Amino acid sequence: MPLIGISILLISLLVVIATNISLIYAQNVTRYKAKLVGEGVIPTVNTSASGLADVNIGGGLWWKLNLTGINDPTMAHIHMGQKGVNGPIVVDLLNSSHRFENTTDRMIITGNNSALSFQGPMKGKTLTDIQSAIRTNTVGLYVDLHTRIHPNGELRGTVQLKNASVPLSITNK
């Protein structure tokens, strides 16, 4: 009987430790968002499609694109650049571990990348460097989604802290 009690105690202790590690990890994740609209693309695209990108950074880069009016994505990237300017690709979202989920009215694409997959000016950089680029007002990062109909980009949005306000409309100006 004492062996059962010790076993239960050890299992309980392992559950508490695992929970605490998960909480510590969750506290080290920074959440970002980007509202994806056709007005943000350079040049502007007239589209009824829209979307929201969620980007989470902490021990890796996890992302989710929640899209409406899109059924043929061909590419999705995070670019480095100012509003009104097309910048270089720094993360290829669809050339990573990703998953598509279609419903009747939306498409959800999720995936993750490591710093090893960073390109262009971020090649060889760290997750902290990506976070610094997001916080920088002079450069910044944006998500760009390409489709068969709009191969140069159909939706674009600036990546910013999740708790920051997202403009209702992003223009090229």
pLDDT at position 19 is 44
Three-state DSSP at 98 gives: strand
pLDDT at position 171 is 37
In the chain, where the domains are located = 31-161
DSSP designation for 37: B
Query: How far is it, in rounded angstroms, from Cα 32 to Cα 22?
Result: 20
Q: How far is CA 37 from CA 22, 59, 153, in A?
A: 34, 29, 10
How confident is the model over 61-83, as pLDDT tens digits? Answer: 999 999 999 988 999 999 999 88
**What's the whole-model pTM score?**
0.77
H helix or E strand, kind and range, residue 16:
helix 2-27
pLDDT at position 135 is 83
Query: How far is it, in rounded angstroms, from Cα 107 to Cα 84?
Result: 27
The CATH class that applies to domain 31-161 reads mainly beta
